[in-house]
Amino acid sequence: MERIVVLDFGGQYNQLIARRVREAGVYSELLPHTASIQEIQGESLSGIILTGGPDSVYAKGAKACDNGIFSLGVPVLGICYGMQYIAKVFGGRIEAAPVREYGRTPIRMQDHPLLRGLDSGIVWMNHNDSVFAMPDGFSAIAETEHCPFAAFADDARKLYGIQFHAEVAHTPNGALIFRNFLKDICGCACTYSPSGLADMLVAQIRAQVGKDRVLGALSGGVDSSVASVLVHNAIGDRLTCIFVDHGLLRQNEAEEVLGFYRDQLNLNIIHVDARERFLSKLAGVTDPEQKRKIIGTEFVRVFEEEAKKLGGAEWLLQGTIYPDVIESGTQTGATIKSHHNVGGLPKDIGFKGLVEPLRMFFKDEVRALGESLGIAHALVWRQPFPGPGLAIRVLGDITEEKLSILRQSDFILREEIAAAGLAEKVWQYFTVFTGMRSVGVMGDQRTYDYAIGVRAVTSTDAMTVEWAELPYPLLRRISERIIGEVPHVNRVVYDITSKPPGTIEWE
């Protein structure tokens, strides 16, 4: 399989680079800039991309990679910091720009295979430094008013750089640069599709677990469902799935999930009622990071106990996907929030290790893989639901009353979205118990009750999202029903925050 390695220098758009490569039809891996040559070279390496980053390449302690990458015989493309790094390694000069460029910037492009199909126009810039003298053998192929070397190329050594960010939507047709690099420069066939990876993943699972048994953490979402089907296809009855009701599920969640798994997927599944256990541990806890870590720890302890009841299981299966890993913090990226199945896990888990076949996949890729495995469309496109459940949709401490209010309001929202025919057009939608109380008037009497937040977003990968522009009549029905049918709610607000700067969940 053709493979592109994206070396991460800590830039904010780096996960988008990996996505753009996959969208162009080549499998990509995002590795830290400290990765070894052996890890980078791996199998079927077709090219390398160096990402942006916050450092100045000439600063003490600036991030660097093993410069042996330039001797591997594959093309290298540097983006922003990555371009400056290439220039520095080969003898160019990089300095602080007298005029820094941010945002939409006019650019003039030459006719070059890397830029083919892109008209001179607008790109997205975000840099303090610039290349002021190119290394020998390099030629400028694009310029802006304040950046004479906005892109360069050394076709003999197949080294390329762009100062702008082609991976973001703000660079029109920026995806063409990745397509050109992959197809015309790296010589890739561009036939990658996540739906065709099932056999490879099954083989990897068999190689990892051997003849051992696996305990599957099954939440009801598409990620854990697809992961469980893959492992079941790999090792059959040596997989036992555990569905934990932690008291933080949506209305009717347990019944729906168990019906799916037993009737449609024929999985061996054990239902564990751990509601009292989780809620007692969470009593009085208000910090969202602490909530996530408590839930992550308790999940593992439940799985350890269930494994002992079964006579032992050596591996723990999780439906971890790539956005979970990114947000939980990487070697070069900040921790946004600790996902219960990544940063929220305790260090001492009672298993030989984790089986995470989807760890490098985005949500849309997981769905494509799920449909290729024959999983029911309704399950593949089920609303995403976080492992910590309603715990991170109740702001502040958690009580049964708050959970009841949240469940009822969320059920109404899901009913109305479905009735409007938007269930698969809106990426994710849910309500939030804000904990805020406000004055209202109902039945000619003063009220002082809770405000419920409504969140609905559109996305393809959960890494960046836009708030969904729901029709006003639909918003009116949602508000009227929640206020009219849910006790102790007198106000409904709609969240119109994109990601970034917000995240999908409120906690």
Contact 295, 312 (CB under 8 A): no
Structure confidence at residue 331 (pLDDT): 53
Q: Which of 505, 470, 499 is nearest to 393 (CA)?
A: 505
CB-based contact 42:35 (threshold 8 Å): no
State pLDDT tens for residues 235-254: 999 999 999 999 999 998 88
On the question of pLDDT at 398 being above 90, the answer is: yes
Q: What does residue 271 show for φ and ψ, rounded to 5 degrees?
A: -95, 120
> What is the average pLDDT value for the chain, to the nearest integer?
89
Task: Please report the domains of the chain, with CATH numbers, ordered by start residue.
Answer: 3-185 (3.40.50.880), 194-380 (3.40.50.620), 399-494 (3.30.300.10)
Neighbours of 179 (CB within 10 A): 20
Q: Which strand ranges, in their side-by-side order, compose the sheet holding 45-50? A: 27-32, 3-8, 45-50, 76-79, 159-162, 151-154, 139-143, 108-109
Which amino acid, 169? A
d(CA 446, CA 324) in angstroms, rounded, equals 44
Say how many C-beta atoms besides its own lie within 10 A of residue 251's C-beta: 15
Q: List Cα–Cα distances, 39 to 5, 31, 35, 207, 335, in angstroms.
A: 10, 9, 6, 19, 24
Q: Which of 167, 298, 356, 505 is catalytic?
A: 167
48, 319, 384, 470 from 368: Cα distances, Å:
26, 15, 15, 26
What's the chain's Rg over C-alpha atoms?
Answer: 25
Q: What value does the mean pLDDT take over residues 325-331?
A: 57
The residue-averaged pLDDT of 380-399 equals 88
The yes-or-no answer on residue 80 being catalytic is yes
Per-residue model confidence as pLDDT tens digits over 335-374:
444 444 444 456 667 788 899 999 888 888 898 899 999 8
> How sure is the predictor about 178, in pLDDT bands with cuts at 50, 70 and 90?
very high
pTM of the predicted protein model:
0.69
Shortest CA distance to 39 belongs to which of 14, 6, 80, 79? 6
Residue 463: the pLDDT is 66
Residue type at 67 in one-letter notation: N
Separation between Cα atoms, residue 252 and residue 242, nearest integer Å: 18
**Could you say which of 112, 127, 165, 246 is catalytic?**
165
Q: How many CB atoms lie within 10 A of CB 103?
A: 10
Q: How far apart are CA 430 and CA 407, in angstroms?
A: 10
Q: What percent of the chain shows pLDDT beyond 90? A: 59
Catalytic residue among 2, 23, 65, 80: 80
Hunting for tokens 């029905």 — which residue is that?
477
Q: Would you state the structure tokens that stand for residue 437, as one six-digit string? A: 């109380």
